[in-house]
Amino acid sequence: MDIETYITNQFSLFKRFCDEIVTLTNFESREYTIALGLIAFNPIFWNVVARLEHSTHFLTKIAGSAKRGCYFLAATIFSLGIIRDYFYESALRQQPVSAMMTGDKFTYVGIAYIAFGQLLVLSSMYQLGITGTYLGDYFGILMDHRVTSFPFNYFDNPMYQGSTFTFLGYALYNGKPAGLIATLVVHVMYNIALRFEEPFTAKIYAKRAAEDANKKGN
């Protein structure tokens, strides 16, 4: 087989795979619609609430302290994540299986992605703690220094990347094309969220650095 024939065959296979992803995804499923809605809603929710807290301190006032306010937001975000995952798993159970995504290879790769994704998520939470994980800097609870140990020495945003890997792994493990589309939505939404979070967080820490410098100067 020459290289041109090989490329043509691979392109044809890829096109068939893409077509199957679309044709085998039931977009009319209520659970799937809810799952996609929650995937989009959750990062929007915590960014809006965190920005509002930073400007008004409304959660701090309601809870009585910044730490309790952050814990309340953490519990809310965690609960929304569980609800999202429930609808995602429930939706995938009802979605068609792809013949191109079945077999031991996809099963093992799916398990590997799930395991690695959870490793990134759990190790990130261990390194950051609750307030570091759940937007404590918006409450004025800042970390003393940047975390550079695993997984942050290999990944810029291991929480988001680990969650994306977990969604992808679950889709591959179950052989469901609908899961691949959901994973793409997860990836897109997290990247949009980072465009808002990273500059704002950098601004918060830059402000503290300037205040510390002023104190030392005085």
Q: What pLDDT is stored for residue 218 in this prediction?
A: 64
Q: For residue 215, is pLDDT > 80?
A: no
- Note the pLDDT tens digit of each residue in 18-29: 888 889 999 999
The binding site for S-adenosyl-L-methionine consists of 115-117, 197-198
Average of per-residue pLDDT across 204-209: 88
Are the beta carbons of 91 and 29 closer than 8 angstroms? yes
Task: Check pLDDT > 80 for residue 45.
Answer: yes
Q: Which of 107, 100, 86 is nearest to 34 (CA)?
A: 86
**216 pLDDT exceeds 80?**
no
Residue 15, pLDDT score: 82
> Taking the CA of residue 49 as centre, how many other CA atoms within 13 Å lie in the half-sphere pointing to its CB?
18
Q: Would the CA dihedral through 184, 170, 37, 121 be positive or negative?
A: negative
Is the confidence at residue 10, as pLDDT, over 80?
no
DSSP structural state of residue 134:
T
Confirm whether pTM is higher than 0.85: yes
Separation between Cα atoms, residue 177 and residue 149, nearest integer Å: 35
pLDDT score of 5: 75
Torsional sign, CA 138, 141, 145, 150: negative
List the binding residues: 115-117, 197-198
The pLDDT of 80-89, averaged and rounded, is 97
Enclosing H/E stretch for 91: helix 66-94
Across the range 191-196, mean pLDDT stands at 96
Confidence of residue 9 (pLDDT cuts 50, 70, 90): confident
Per-residue pLDDT at 8: 75
Residue 217, pLDDT > 90, answer no
Reported as a pLDDT band with limits 50, 70 and 90, residue 211 is confident
Domain boundaries along the sequence of the chain: 26-211
Q: In this predicted model, what pLDDT tens digit does every residue of 155-190 receive, in sequence order?
A: 999 999 999 999 999 999 999 999 999 999 999 999
In this predicted structure, the answer to whether residue 72 has a pLDDT above a threshold of 70 is yes
User: Is cis: bond before 199, omega within 30 of 0?
Assistant: no
Return d(Cα 50, Cα 73) in angstroms, integer: 8
Q: Kindly report the average pLDDT of the chain as a whole number.
A: 93
Flag whether pLDDT at 64 surpasses 90: yes
